[in-house]
Chains A and B, each alone.
Chain A
Amino acid sequence: MKDPVEGGWSRGETFEEFLSRRGVSRREFLTFCGRMAACFAAAAALPGGSHALAEEMAQKLSGARRPSVIYLQLQECTGCLESLLRSGSSPIDRLVLEQVSLDYNELLMAPSGSAAEEVLREAAAKPHLLLVNGSVPLGYDGACCTIGGDSAANILRRAAQKADAIMAVGACAEYGCVQAASPNLTGAVGVSDVITDRPVVNISGCPPIAETITATLTYYLAYGHPPPLDGMGRPLFAYGQRIHDKCPRRASFDAGQFAERFDDENARRGHCLYRLGCKGPATFAPCATLEWNLGQSFPIKAGHPCLGCTERHFYDRMTPFYRRLPGFVVPGLGVEATANTIGAAAVVASVGGVMVHSAATVIAKKRAKKAQPETLPLAVLGDKEKPEEEGDKRA
């Protein structure tokens, strides 16, 4: 990537080198720092006066480096980091060469063993952004995930101490995901269960779409603070809407056109997958808008029902995956129905749709209040006794 502005501050050079290349002498630079420091000192009425501050500023500005990132991988499958590698909006080469200094990441870094541990110690002692893949197993004294002979919990705590921001990337880091599914043998928990005194941004999904990870990171880099979050700590730009609301098969849901089994005539016509168990109506995720892998497609578009992988404890709450979401009326009409029937069906369907909408909104609000997934009402997620058959009969 060439710098768009000729002679701009290249990402590789320090601020002082950049000024020097632009013909600004060190004396001028220090004078500038002195003036700025005087302004700040006056505003803040600093006791040490502006001189000490000017020196500190000069030191900080002249040594500016790309922001340091520590990217831990704890108890996990590496799928989230593999996803990150597929990002099209911040390609991984641009990310690591120009946007951040990825100082510690076990999948990509050159050194191993003591040299790697040394790099981590140094990076953790300085301000950095902390990204975490994977859960923290608390059982067996932490022996279910050790790195360099220490437990994931200890490593996470140390890396978090001086972190400017903490991002839990993926369902494992958010709450433990598949290893936390019943019976959770290793006592796997999420980052925010271990780091309880700091805000943690959750980038949900198993794995999350690449661009949601990189854009959350670049949001920090661009604006210096985390993006606005929902009640589950997830960025609104990615998790503010349900898949169902933006689904390309939504029109057939509203029209009562459903695939009754995989690869039947309706499936081949691109109709709604609700009856095959699609969890899109209960899942807040950007799959239908961003889509996966450079915007190529996403599960529902490619014919498979959504598994609901951005929702907490989906392995326990969204399963069986091929059982339809219960709790609302579905018209149950084929596409060959007469125009009148379709019209009537559409009304019923949209009523059903509204019900799902409000139910999902209620769930989201309750979650926001409690933020205790285990205690949440699970009405739309399948806890009731076979309500979908009733729904079908009513239709």
Chain B
Amino acid sequence: MARERIVIDPITRIEGHLRIELESEGGRIGNAWACATQFRGIERVLQGRDPRDAWAFAQRICGVCTGVHAIASVRAVEDAIKCKIPPCAELIRSLVSGMATLQDHVMHFYHLHALDWVDVMSALKADPAATSRLAASLSPWPNNSATWFREVQKRVADSAGGGLGIFAGGYWGHPAYRLPPEANLMALAHYLEALSWQREIIRLHTIFAGKNPHPNYLVGGMACSINLDNQIAINRVRLDEIAGMIDQARRFVLEVYYPDVLAIASFYPEYAAIGVSSPTLLATGESAYSCSGAPAGGVVPAGLVLDGDYGTPHPFDPKKIAEFISSAWYSQPEGDRQGLHPWQGRTEPNYTGPKPPFKELSDHPKYTWCKAPRYDGRAVQVGPNARIMVACAQGHAETVGLAGEGLARLGGGVAALNSTLGRTYCRALESVLLARRMDQWFAQLNERIRSGDVATFNPELWEPSSWPRQAQGTGFMEAARGTLSHWIEIENGRISRYQAVVPSTWNSSGRDPGGQMGPFEQALAGDGKHPLSDPKRPIEVLRTIHSFDPCESCAVHLLVPGGGGVEVKVQ
């Protein structure tokens, strides 16, 4: 059987625009190219602006990971000008980014990933009473009644009569779907419940940061003031509301999301050995607890596991990051083979691909807008599985305990976390840990308020006149999708260089000059064993790509040329 060329574009149920090109033979994938097909050039827009404004620009890199770029940005500025923020502001930032991660993980699973495992049409044949019994065996969630499952089934069936809408053209009935109808109905009901849940719990952002998506941040702290005796400030009413939202978030994670992931995973055990990707994984600190400057914050310190040795933790050295452009549509004076550290990048967009409409990209050496970051020459996975594996290697007891329980049920060792199923499972596992952390952060915030420490902003370094003439800073952040860092240079109160090294850049990068594939590509074509039974209905590919939770608007960015060559009119 001859090798077949396959193009999957658009990859749907992701953020941004991603195209996958494949070679497949005999139901197995032989080669793969990940092509990010959107470029916006936001970092270039930032040059010459007021550094205090940068978060509002950088935040718009992504509206799904909303907030993570803003927090990395304000941290980079604070690192540059050496501004310490009050403890309450740090706790509020942790609560805001923690809630964003919980919402993001749950929505990724139900709304972006579940339809790869859950057959919606099969759910319509389920027995609601049997579904309720199944659900009761997994979780005490009170909504899992036969009445509710029957209503969901009727709603979706009624709806299908008037147009399938978002479910039209799905790969329903594909033999790769293996859940019984009752499990499908349970997951479909939770898909709908998660839609209601997410808009409730995210109001924590609205209280602390004004709105969501794109909540407000502030260099030097947070803009919300705490005043228990004022109607409009953060008072007891708001704190009570937040307590309720944290409770609601935790309960859904513990009683719906985590049990669902374990239950569904148990029907697809072979995916713990499918989608194995780069054996080097990086995390710069515990999820949601960000750190400025040196990436050392959080309960779990920054670190890596290298080359498939998942038991040995290694320290993280930011100097070992280099980005390559040999497969990406950019040019630089140093030529295509030279990797550059974020502080050295001098890159310009230089599209050399075919003029749209086009049929193929991978027959060109350059095929993506996504650059290829490497750590000490290695392609690196980042994200929930990287965080869990690094924490396990460091012996973080809480993580080791929970991961052990889950792995025992799924049947596998820590190495199984580097797989399609492993990435999906780690997202749920991390949500459980993070829900617990939210309680701790909120308790700490309340304790500070009780003791009269209510400051949320440090005004000392607000005015640019108080800054050094030249300054350089880095903000690290573990975003939902992995390690994020923003790098800023300030000159005379203006941004002279801005760079973001983003989770999906690590994960969806193309080949480097040595021919090493990026993590998406390795997961699909690293071992020649990845299944693809029907190229017209590439459900297996979607499972693996979605397990990374791609965010392609984040992935593509641009180094700013050094020396401030761009004239920007800002007033």
Contacts and interface: CB of A to CB of B under 8 A. Distances in A.
Contacts of B157: 12
Interface in B213-235: 213-214, 216, 218, 220-227, 230-233
B207 A297 contact: yes
B569 interface: yes
B206 A101 contact: no
Contact of B203 (A77, A177, A293): A293
Main secondary structure of the interface of A (DSSP, over half): loop
Interface in A78-92: 78-83, 85-88, 91-92
A268 B230 contact: yes
A307 B8 CA distance: 39
B212 interface: yes
A319 B570 contact: yes
B56 A304 contact: no
B202 A148 contact: no
A105 B230 CA distance: 44
A320 B53 contact: yes
Contact of A13 (B156, B161, B369, B462): B161
B158 interface: yes
Interface in B236-276: none
A59 B39 CA distance: 46
B165 interface: yes
Contacts of B214: 79, 206-207
Q: How big is the B interface, by class?
A: 35 or more
Given A181-B57, A185-B41, A147 B10 contact: yes
B210 A301 contact: yes
B164 A316 contact: no
A304 B216 contact: yes
Nearest to A119: B169
Interface in B159-200: 159-171, 192, 195-196, 198-200
Contacts of A287: 211
Main secondary structure of the interface of B (DSSP, over half): loop
Contacts of B462: 261-262
Most buried by A among B14, B17, B62, B166: B166
Given A79-B60, A319-B49, A150 B158 contact: no
A181 B44 CA distance: 10
A268 B233 CA distance: 6
Interface residues of A, number: 109
B356 A142 contact: yes
A149 B203 contact: no
A151 B356 contact: yes
A267 B162 contact: no
Interface in A276-329: 287, 291-294, 296-305, 307, 315-316, 319-322
Contacts of B107: 85
A361 B203 CA distance: 33
A371 interface: no
B58 to A, nearest CB: 9
B223 A382 contact: no
A292 B206 contact: yes
Interface string B139-164: 00000000000000001111111111
Contacts of B11: 112-113
A105 B351 CA distance: 27
A90 to B, nearest CB: 12
Interface in B103-134: 107, 111-112, 115, 120
Nearest to A378: B571
Interface stretch (B452-460, B484-492, B508-516): B452-460
Contacts of A148: 9-10
B52 A321 contact: yes
A214 to B, nearest CB: 12
B344 interface: no
A264 B14 CA distance: 42
Contact of B158 (A12, A100, A263): A12
A319 B53 contact: yes
A227 interface: no
Given A270-B231, A302-B223, A186 B570 contact: no
Interface of B: 7-17, 19, 37-42, 44-45, 49-50, 52-53, 56-57, 60-64, 66, 107, 111-112, 115, 120, 155-171, 192, 195-196, 198-200, 202-203, 205-214, 216, 218, 220-227, 230-233, 329, 349, 351, 353, 355-359, 369, 454-457, 459, 462, 536-538, 542, 553, 558, 566-571
21 contacts: A11-B158, A11-B159, A13-B162, A79-B66, A85-B107, A85-B199, A93-B196, A103-B163, A113-B11, A115-B536, A116-B169, A178-B42, A185-B558, A188-B40, A262-B457, A293-B199, A296-B203, A302-B209, A303-B225, A304-B209, A307-B56
